[in-house]
Amino acid sequence: MSLERPASRLLRPLLLALVLATCARVWLGPVDWLPEAQAQLPDTARQRLDQLAEARRTNELLTELIGILRTQTIKVTLEGSDKNGTPLPGVPRGPAPQPAPQAGR
């Protein structure tokens, strides 16, 4: 009479197959049909060089702007009201002017 349980009779061959499959996998190495993980790391050195190039270009433009402001006359036109002092539609208006105090009162 065998004291083996029916579950252990099924479990042993399954366990043996799993161990053999693991050994075969280790022996043969990675399988080509599995997708390969690839890291998508940013190129920080390239980002830093791009940032420095942008900063240099900004400095060049600011230097050019300072040169223009120091050497040339700039014509400025104010917009927001017509010649009569009536505000143009769609142009924000500042605070309303306060009436001047009258002398003698």
pTM of the model: 0.37
Contact in structure between 80 and 87 (CB atoms under 8 Å):
yes
Structure token digits, residue 26? 């280790």
Q: For 37-56, what is each residue's pLDDT tens digit?
A: 777 888 899 999 999 999 99
User: Torsions phi, psi of 53, nearest 5?
Assistant: -65, -40
Q: For 43-91, what is each residue's pLDDT tens digit?
A: 899 999 999 999 999 999 999 999 999 999 888 777 766 666 666 666 6
Domain boundaries, the chain: 43-74
